[in-house]
Amino acid sequence: MKQLLRWANPSVAGKVAARLRGVCLLGAILFGATGLVWGFFFAPADYLQGESVRIIYLHVPAATLSTLLYGTMAVASLGFLVLRLPSFALVCRAVAPTGLLMTALCLVTGSLWGKLSWGAWWVWDARLTSLLVLFFIYIGYFALHSLFVDGARARLATSVFVLVGAVDLPIVKFSVEWWYSLHQPASLLRKGGSSVHPDLLQPLLLCLAGATFFAAWASFTAFDNISMRTRLQRLLHPLS
Amino acid sequence: MRPRRGWRRTQRLTAVVVLLACVGIGTAFVLVALRENVVFFLVPSDVVERLAEGRVGDGRIRLGGLVVEGSVARDSDSGEVRFVVTDGAARVAVRYRGIVPDLFREGQGVVATGTLQAARVEGTSSEPLPLLEAEQILAKHDEYYMPRGVEKALKKNNLWREQP
Amino acid sequence: MTFFSLWNSVLERVVSLPALVVVAYALFLCALLLFSLWLKREGTTLRRELQRALSERERG
């Protein structure tokens, strides 16, 4: 435990982040470009949806990352509240911008796909509504953080906020199982394995890997930026 | 110092767990209370049950289910489409004037929004079905994605599973 | 395969898809690009200001 806590020191964590950043960017470009080109040009059309199924290579990675990143924020917030180490709150803040981006992209690509497949830009079913709520939770996080001048109070308030908001995560995931909804049930993480045919699944998994590497790169970069900003503030205003 | 810090940590962990439990329970209560509104559509069995119990209110509902094979009839003069929706147990007839989504077809899922009519129509089994006058038709698809050739091959070998 | 025949097949594919699919890909990629550039720019600016602040502290 002592060894693990050593990584919680901001300067140590910052150095590790900088080194891994390059690898993540490379992974993002490699997996992402391959997956998207494969899905856009070479993967077959769907038996039912035809060519519009190609949005899956955008929508599913965005949706997955949106909830995955918020889950990361929730774990980081829990860690901060229990251990009171600022690095945990820093991780949460570093991950948030990418999470917000992914949620927005999920909603937009989903809307376009919905118009093509269901015939509607938006419906208030359980899955869509709960994901829109997650979008507003992300926005709320940034709004709440900006209200505080004192860093310590900001970290405390936002950590509690993120944890309370985490109640939405199981709702998003299980909404399609718990209630009749327009959005179809899960196609990846489900009993009996994925319901996506390998010809479509393979490029999708590559896109998922690419998106994950991208999120990692963006989070490391944001972490670095926040660390630098904190140092800069301490240098310019040493008394505050 | 160490024992006190460990105890503080456990205290904080307990506090967080209690907080989350309360929020979770509170949310569960809210969702159960809002049950009617969270469900996006009723299935034909629900509709038949409500009609029998007289619980239809102003008749405005959203109906979801599968389009019965061979039930789609289009009237080219009035631009009207008629079809039957089933959930495997009960059936409801739907009437719609307008353009249906591309994915609308027999054997596929559909969600129709509209008003239940007092009149009943004759079904193919000569049993009167409740009629829904629809204002909006949405196609509903399942979570299975596959290339075109695969669907035909599965159907040919009788391996095609019907959606719920 | 020449560059032009490759470009032509790309255009053919793009044109054969529903417009909304192309819009989705375009929006997605632009958003990712702009976001990445914004992050990098923030980093570069902060690094420069940090350097300036450090060298000023050493001087003064």
> Does residue C27 belong to the interface with chain A, where contact is any CB pair within 8 Å?
yes
CB contact under 8 A, B146 and A197: yes
**From its phi and psi, is residue B158 left (phi > 0), alpha (psi between -120 and 50) or beta?**
left
Going by C-beta distance under 8 Å and a sequence separation of 6 or more, which residues neighbour residue A33?
A210
State the ipTM, two decimals.
Answer: 0.88
Q: At what angle do helices A151-165 and A56-83 cross, to 10 degrees?
A: 130
- Stretch A2-17: mean pLDDT: 63
Distances in Å between the Cα of A98 and the Cα atoms of A228, B24, B28, B89 are 19, 26, 29, 46
pLDDT digits (tens, 9 = 90+) for A23-74: 999 999 999 999 999 999 999 999 999 999 999 999 999 999 999 999 999 9
Is residue B113 situated within a structural domain? Answer: yes
| B60 and B27 within one domain | no
Residues of A in contact with C49 (CB under 8 A): 232
Residue C54 to chain A, least CA–CA distance (Å): 8
| B66 and B31 within one domain | no
> Does residue C7 belong to the interface with chain A, where contact is any CB pair within 8 Å?
no
Which pLDDT value is given to residue B164?
A: 42
Domain span holding position B133: 40-140
* Residues forming beta bridges with residue B147, ordered by sequence position: A46
How confident is residue A14, by pLDDT bands cut at 50, 70 and 90?
Answer: low
| B121 and B69 within one domain | yes
| B128 and B92 within one domain | yes
Q: Which of A54, A101, A228 comes nearest C21 by C-beta?
A: A54
What domain count does chain B have? Answer: 2
CB contact under 8 A, C13 and A40: yes
**A/C interface, count of CB pairs below 8 Å:** 77
Q: Is B77 exposed, middle or buried (0-12, 13-18, 19+ CB in 10 A)?
A: exposed
Residues of A in contact with B24 (CB under 8 A): 167
| B86 and B129 within one domain | yes
| B55 and B18 within one domain | no
| Predicted confidence (pLDDT) at residue B115 exceeds the cutoff of 60 | yes
CA distance A210 to A217: 10
pLDDT digits (tens, 9 = 90+) for A207-228: 999 999 999 999 999 998 998 9
Q: Which of A97, A109, A218 comes nearest C24 by C-beta?
A: A109
Residue A110 to chain C, least CA–CA distance (Å): 9
CA distance A54 to A34: 14
| B103 and B25 within one domain | no
Q: At what angle do helices A10-37 and A198-236 cross, to 10 degrees?
A: 150
| B111 and B94 within one domain | yes
For residue C51, give the nearest of A17, A15, A12, A228 by alpha carbon. A228
| B132 and B79 within one domain | yes
Is residue B132 situated within a structural domain? Answer: yes
pLDDT digits (tens, 9 = 90+) for C11-39: 888 888 999 999 999 999 999 999 999 99
| B80 and B18 within one domain | no
Is residue B95 situated within a structural domain? Answer: yes
User: A110 and A121 in contact (C-beta within 8 Å)?
Assistant: no
How confident is residue B15, by pLDDT bands cut at 50, 70 and 90?
Answer: confident
Is residue B148 situated within a structural domain? Answer: no
Is residue B149 situated within a structural domain? Answer: no
Which amino acid, C9? S
Is residue B159 situated within a structural domain? Answer: no
| B26 and B45 within one domain | no
How confident is residue A193, by pLDDT bands cut at 50, 70 and 90?
Answer: confident
User: A200 and B147 in contact (C-beta within 8 Å)?
Assistant: yes
Residue A30 to chain B, least CA–CA distance (Å): 25
For residue A171, give the nearest of A137, A134, A140, A130 by alpha carbon. A130
Is residue B92 situated within a structural domain? Answer: yes
Q: Which of A117, A166, A185 comes nearest B143 by C-beta?
A: A185
Range 56-95 of A in CB contact (< 8 A) with C: 58-59, 62
Nearest residue in chain A measured CA to CA from C58: A235
**Domain chopping of chain A, boundaries:** 24-42+50-224
How confident is residue A9, by pLDDT bands cut at 50, 70 and 90?
Answer: low
| B49 and B123 within one domain | yes
Instruction: Using alpha carbons only, give the angle B98, B100, B104 rounded to the nearest 5 degrees.
Output: 155
Is residue B6 situated within a structural domain? Answer: yes
Which pLDDT value is given to residue B153?
A: 76
Residues of A in contact with C20 (CB under 8 A): 52, 55, 112-113, 115-116
- Stretch A133-156: mean pLDDT: 93
pLDDT digits (tens, 9 = 90+) for A37-51: 999 999 999 999 999
